Each structure stands twice: as C-alpha cells, then as structure tokens.
Amino acid sequence: MIRFDDLTVFVLAADNGNMSAAARLLNIAPAVASAAIKRLEAELGVRLFARSTRSLRLTSDGARYVEFARNALAELRAGHDALMQEREALHGTLTISIPSDLGRNVLTDWLDVFMVQHPALALNVRIGDMRVDMFRQPVDAAVRYGVPDDSTLVAAPLAPDNRRVLCASPAYFARHGKPASLEELFGHNCLRLALSEAMHDRWTFEKNGDERVIKVTGNRISDDGELVRRWAVAGQGLAYKSRLDVLADLRAGRLETALDDWLGERAPVNLVSTHRLALTPALSRLRDFLQERMRAYVAQSEAD
C-alpha cells in the first residue's frame, strides 16, 4: 500500500534534489524521509533515486514516476479541499427581516451576491418597516435602524455613524425654496412616516451641542419608508430620511439636502439577532458580508 506521506517526501526530494531539504520542508528527521523513500521503492519494486553522499538524482524509473506522483498528490489535495468546502458551506434556510427602502433599493442586490457565494443556503426575506418580534416570529436576524431596547438581543453594527438628512427634489426646492432655518420648516410640506400608531413628526437636529426638535406637518403620511422616498423624488415635499436610504438619489441628483449646517439624528444600522442565534455560521458570514458592503458603499459616497 503506497502511503500519501511517502509520495510527498518523494516529490519534494525530487523537486529539491536533496533529501535533507525535503525533510526540513516537512519538519521531519532526514532518517524518516530516507525511510519513506525506501518504503516507496520497496512497494514499487524499483529504484527511484541514484544516491551518493553528495548528490541525489532521479533514476529513469523515478523520472517517469514523479509526474504520476505529482498528479496523485494534486488529486488528493483537490479532494480534501472539496470536502472542506462542503463542510464549511452554509446550508439550511436563513430568514431575515429588512427595512422597506434600504432593503428594496440596496440590500436585495447585495443578498443576491451573498446567495451566489453560498448556493446551498436558502433565503427567506421579510421586507417592511414594522419591527418584528424575534422571539415570537421565525426570524433569524433583522437589519434595522437604531439599537434595540431589549437587552436579550444582539446588535452587530453595519453602519454605526449613519444619520438622517433633510432632503427634497430640485423641482420642489425650485418651487418652494430651500429652508434657511429650522423655523422655516413650518412653512413646508413635510412627508411623514407612521409606524405602529406612532407618528414620526418630530424631527431632531443638532449643531454645536445644541439639539432642536421640530414638529412638522404635511399632507402625506405613510407606514412605508420607500413610499416616502418616492414622494420626495417626485417633488411632493421634504423628507427626513436615513442618508443610506437616499444615497443613490443624492448621487444622481434626484434629491438634494438642505440645512446642511445641522446634523440629523443618529440612525445607526445594525444586524439584530437573538443571543441564541448570534453566532451561527450563516449569521456570522452574513454579518461580515454586510459590514464589508456597507463600508464600501459609504466610502464610495465620500469619495464622490
């Protein structure tokens, strides 16, 4: 029976022309390497090397056999790698909840890439801005704005420095002008989001440690952040959106920001999961993937 270790010693000795070099590469004693070659020669019934005290060269039989040995080792390594990839592949179904606007316009494309990288994984996506109860609903993780109040949940940061921005379309600003102060917001049509009976009509701004909260009004309300963004792009009013939600619109000129000397409220993006599920291979891989994508997305915007 030909041993894998003996073939390895043989190929390394042939490549290096030196038994001691092969032994050093394998971290074994020269005597062990020499014994491996003798064992292989005995198994094959031929001499593989012509040896002297100063040189080591392949015999004609050894020169013919070394290519077969290399191919055999390559096939064995390929088989080992295939088994390891299969063992490390993500399986099963991953159920995630993602927000309406960022989910539809950014995350779904990224998730397509993630699925190509992990073809054995099935994905169940729930999209919407309503918060899910992760202990009562079969959801493994949720991409959400803000840090959860529940201490039994784990929040892995994806975009910790994200904030909201005040924005509208160029057409809206052409008709109504850009507000020059927070007080001027009272005279603008503000597009509002309502979730779980809570109206998001108090917009918070910060400058030099001074925090101001403005209660806004307008003629359009929705429980869907994507619809609020579309209204803003269509010139229907001012929106107070996560910068990530409108980043593509700002780059393309479909939206413009206003009151840039004031910082909007913080809107960190996190991948939220329960303690029980926080360290599963699928969630860990998804977390790392989304963190990398989010960093690149924000960095591209800053470069522009």
Residue 116 per-residue DSSP state: H
Q: What is the mean pLDDT of residues 142-165?
A: 86
Residue with tokens 């073939």: 7
Domain with CATH 1.10.10.10 in the chain: 4-88
Give alpha helix (H) positions in the chain: 4-16, 19-26, 30-44, 60-88, 100-102, 108-117, 170-176, 225-233, 243-252, 281-303
Rounded to an integer, the average pLDDT of 233-241 is 96
Confidence at 153, pLDDT banded by 50, 70, 90: confident
Of 36-40, 239-243, 284-288, the range with the highest mean pLDDT is 239-243
CATH number of 164-264: 3.40.190.290
* The residue type at 13: A
Phi, psi for 54 (deg, rounded to 5): -115, -15
Q: Of the candidates 215, 188, 213, which has an alpha carbon nearest to the alpha carbon of residue 199? A: 215
pLDDT at 247: 94
SS3 287: helix
pLDDT, position 299 = 85
HSE at residue 123, side-chain half, CA atoms within 13 A, is 22
Over residues 240-268, the mean pLDDT reads 95
Q: What does the pLDDT read at residue 87?
A: 54
Match domain 92-161+268-303 to its CATH number in 3.40.190.10, 3.10.129.10, 3.50.50.60, 3.10.20.30: 3.40.190.10
Domain with CATH 3.40.190.10 in the chain: 92-161+268-303
Taking the mean position of all CA atoms in its chain, how far away is CA 193? 29
- Residue entry with tokens 């290096």: 16
Q: Phi/psi at 218 (nearest 5 deg)?
A: 180, 175
Q: pLDDT-based confidence at 302, cuts 50/70/90?
A: low
Which of 162, 147, 141 lies closest to 288 in space, CA to CA?
141
Which residues make up the CATH 3.40.190.290 domain(s) of the chain? 164-264
**What's the pLDDT at 85?**
56
Whole-number CA gyration radius for the chain: 31
pLDDT in tens, 31-82: 998 999 999 989 999 999 988 767 788 999 989 999 999 888 888 887 776 6
pLDDT tens, residue by residue, 188-234 = 999 999 987 788 999 999 999 899 999 999 999 999 999 999 999 99
Given this model, what pLDDT does residue 198 score? 82
The confidence score (pLDDT) of residue 35 equals: 92
* Three-class SS of 35-104: HHHHHHHHHHCCCCEEECCCCEEECHHHHHHHHHHHHHHHHHHHHHHHHHHHHHCCCEEEEEEECHHHHH
Residues 89-122: pLDDT tens digits? 577 888 899 999 999 999 999 999 999 988 888 9
More confident call, 83 vs 243: 243
Fold annotation for 4-88: Arc Repressor Mutant, subunit A (1.10.10)
pLDDT for residue 304 is more than 60:
no
